[in-house]
Amino acid sequence: MASARDTNARQEGCKDPWSKLLERVGQQRDREAYRSLYEHFGPQIKYYALSNGMAHHAEELVQEVMISVWRRACLYDWRKAAASTWIFTIARNQRIDMLRKMQRSSAEMAVETEDLWQIPGDNENEPVTALHRILAERRVRESLRSLPEEQVTVLAKVYMESKSHQMVADELQIPLGTVKSRVRLALNKLKVILRDQAV
């Protein structure tokens, strides 16, 4: 039986480099680590903004996300999400917020984005499942590479271009049912769909 310390050491070994950098930002306010994160994730976030049609606000989004990363880094818990996932959820929420502001609906909007879309680790009540999460993410990463192109395309349009299934169907000129079945096949292969097993 492995001691708690062994388990901790093994889990520490699984920590990815971006998570380590993010921890340094959170704990030591390390600006070099922050710059490395910016250089890696900044261009991805800009591309995300551009593919979402935010051409005039792409760097503004990068800025908002990076500032949020700096402010929240002390809350980051690598056991709850990989750094890339944590930053993705921040980018997604900032995009939603910016769009709301542009549509001037935020003033009337009574519910805050963060109450609806949570950042992993924000909820103290969530249990910590480091190894389980890391294994699941590794599996997702490996199987994402082996998905057929047509399935990745659908997922990418949903995530990167914020398209609804209907919009994807219209754009690719395929029936809505085909889009849905591609999504289902992809998520099955990624083992994101959980059958009635206990979790």
- Which parts of 78-117 interact with another protein (CB under 8 A)? 81-82, 84-85, 87-89, 91-93, 95-96, 100, 103, 105, 108-112, 115-117
CB 83 within 8 A of CB 14: no
Within 120-139, which residues bind another protein (CB under 8 A)?
A: 120-125, 133, 136-137
How many whole angstroms separate alpha carbon 111 and alpha carbon 97?
11
Within 168-197, which residues bind another protein (CB under 8 A)?
A: 180, 183-184, 187, 190-194
User: Residue 171 Cβ, how far from another protein at the closest point, in Å?
Assistant: 14
Q: Which two tokens mark 115?
A: 């109450």
Nearer to another protein by C-beta: 158 or 174? 158
Within 27-56, which residues bind another protein (CB under 8 A)?
A: 31, 35, 38, 42-48, 50-51
**Interaction between residue 155 and another protein (CB under 8 A):** yes
CB 42 within 8 A of CB 87: no
User: Residue 6 Cβ, how far from another protein at the closest point, in Å?
Assistant: 26
Q: How would you write 54-68 as a 3-class SS string?
A: CHHHHHHHHHHHHHH
Interface with another protein: number of residues (CB under 8 A):
79
Within 7-26, which residues bind another protein (CB under 8 A)?
A: none
User: Residue 9 Cβ, how far from another protein at the closest point, in Å?
Assistant: 24
* Out of 11, 30, 159, 172, the residue judged to bind another protein by CB under 8 A: 159
Q: What phi-psi label fits residue 197: left (phi over 0), alpha (psi between -120 and 50 degrees) or beta? A: beta
CB 153 within 8 A of CB 44: no
Q: Which two tokens mark 188?
A: 């099955």
Classify residue 108 as exposed, middle or buried by CB count within 10 Å of its CB (0-12, 13-18, 19+): exposed
Nearer to another protein by C-beta: 33 or 91? 91
